[in-house]
């Protein structure tokens, strides 16, 4: 394992410290742990808190700031933060308007955030939550814990964050977040794995000519493996699954081409070139496209495509000003 780190046990803390030092105008770190909050607490609005394992940078700390999150809690790499840490985050940003937790649908994340909410409620803080589950690669049935929350979660941060900034109440902010969840779908693929620093070796292996379709943001297996194809063919495969899942015809969408950490912009633009053409062919109008790294998987070579079906309200909130390290 070759990485620019000092000590595997210091990875998360030194990453957060470096991030806060880079953006002192936006962020500060709580003394109690790897919890990042807005440099200036915003009173009188619903506070948004998200988080999850580390290794997804700029998520989630990079989305803390005006118009998006109020706090982000970072667990160890690819591991949910613990309830006491999440609780500290909630306490630091809670206002009388309440707190909305944006949780990605993983067993651990959901349990830890739920335990934190139970702790906060005992202290008289009103906490509600939404669970994001945009990954169409996972079957959503009675027989699984449901789809995973992946890059589409960033749209939830943005749009619910903009709604909270207007001074809307907790129910309204929660409903807005849920509306985004209901309308966003994502699917990804990878050609090279990533290595969790503490594990020291890749979480999975792919042979030279192989790719994993439907991969999760922790390098979890997806739907299947097959030989690597041309970028356009991979895009077609992922897009067809997304487009089958909800009816995008005639609608206006926001597109996110998210890099998994080890895929250059050059390739992401090649991917977007095809995405854009296919959507045009299908008469799906693109309101805005985001190409870059929003929710990574350390150094994985991979990408995901997210499509958010917009209505006027979501469009307006997506376009509203935001000022955070990774979205402005």
Instruction: Decide: 11 and 54 in contact? Cβ < 8 Å.
Output: yes
Query: Residue 304 or residue 324: which is nearer to other proteins going by CB?
Result: 304
Query: Residue 140 or residue 169: which is nearer to other proteins going by CB?
Result: 140
Query: Residue 115 or residue 228: which is nearer to other proteins going by CB?
Result: 115
Q: What is the DSSP string of 144-201?
A: SS-PPP-TTHHHHHHHHHHHHHTT--HHHHHHHHHHHHHHEEEEEEEEE--B-TTT-S
Tokens encoding 127 = 């906490």
Least distance CB 35 / other proteins (angstroms) = 13
Tokens encoding 149 = 């929350």
Least distance CB 213 / other proteins (angstroms) = 13
Q: Is 129 a catalytic residue?
A: no
Query: Residue 138 or residue 159: which is nearer to other proteins going by CB?
Result: 138
Strand, coil or helix: what is 128? strand
Locate the DSSP E strands across 30-159: 35-38, 47-54, 71-77, 99-104, 127-132
What does the DSSP 8-state code read for residue 73?
E
Least distance CB 280 / other proteins (angstroms) = 33
Least distance CB 80 / other proteins (angstroms) = 5
Q: Is 218 a catalytic residue?
A: yes
Least distance CB 318 / other proteins (angstroms) = 29
Residue ranges that bind other proteins, judged by CB under 8 A: 53, 75-85, 106-108, 111-112, 115, 138-139, 143-145, 148, 196, 198-199, 203-204, 216, 218-221
Angle at 114 between CA 318 and CA 313, to 5 degrees: 15
What does the DSSP 8-state code read for residue 15?
H
Query: Residue 72 or residue 255: which is nearer to other proteins going by CB?
Result: 72
Q: What is the DSSP string of 266-319?
A: HHHHHHHHHHHHHHHHTTPEEEEEEEE-SS--TTBEEEEEEEEEE-HHHHHHHH
Query: Residue 193 or residue 262: which is nearer to other proteins going by CB?
Result: 193
> Which one of the listed residues 26, 56, 60, 157 is annotated catalytic?
56
Least distance CB 115 / other proteins (angstroms) = 6
Strand, coil or helix: what is 240? helix
What does the DSSP 8-state code read for residue 143?
T
Beta 210-213 vs 224-227: how paired, if at all? antiparallel
Angle at 175 between CA 170 and CA 177, to 5 degrees: 95
For 281, residues 6+ apart whose C-beta sits below 8 A from its C-beta are none
Least distance CB 227 / other proteins (angstroms) = 18
Query: Residue 71 or residue 194: which is nearer to other proteins going by CB?
Result: 194
Residues taking part in catalysis: 56, 218
């Amino acid at each position: 394992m070759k990485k620019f780190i000092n000590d595997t046990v210091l990875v998360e803390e030194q990453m957060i410290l470096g991030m806060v030092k880079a953006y002192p105008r936006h962020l500060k770190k709580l003394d109690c742990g790897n919890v990042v909050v807005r440099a200036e607490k915003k009173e009188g609005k619903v506070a948004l808190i998200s988080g999850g394992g580390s290794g997804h940078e700029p998520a989630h700390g990079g989305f803390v700031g005006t118009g998006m999150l109020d706090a982000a809690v970072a667990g160890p790499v690819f591991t949910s933060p613990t309830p006491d840490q999440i609780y500290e985050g909630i306490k630091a940003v809670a206002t009388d308007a309440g707190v909305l937790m944006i949780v990605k649908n993983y067993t651990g994340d959901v349990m830890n955030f739920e335990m934190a909410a139970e702790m906060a409620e005992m202290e008289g803080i009103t906490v509600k939550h939404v669970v994001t589950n945009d990954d169409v690669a996972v079957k959503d049935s009675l027989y699984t814990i449901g789809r995973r929350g992946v890059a589409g979660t960033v749209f939830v941060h943005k749009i619910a964050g903009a709604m909270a900034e207007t001074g809307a109440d907790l129910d309204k902010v929660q409903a807005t977040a849920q509306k985004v969840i209901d309308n966003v779908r994502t699917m990804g693929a990878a050609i090279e794995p990533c290595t969790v620093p503490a594990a020291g070796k890749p979480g999975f292996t792919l042979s030279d000519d192989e790719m994993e379709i439907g991969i999760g943001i922790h390098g979890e297996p997806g739907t299947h493996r097959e030989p690597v194809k041309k970028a356009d063919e991979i895009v077609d495969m992922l897009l067809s699954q997304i487009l089958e899942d909800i009816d995008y015809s005639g609608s206006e969408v926001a597109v996110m081409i998210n890099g998994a950490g080890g895929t250059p912009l050059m390739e992401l633009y090649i991917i977007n070139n095809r995405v854009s053409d296919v959507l045009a062919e299908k008469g799906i109008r693109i309101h805005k496209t985001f190409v870059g790294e929003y929710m990574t998987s350390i150094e994985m070579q991979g990408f995901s495509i997210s499509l958010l079906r917009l209505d006027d309200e979501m469009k307006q909130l997506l376009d509203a000003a935001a000022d955070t390290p990774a979205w402005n």
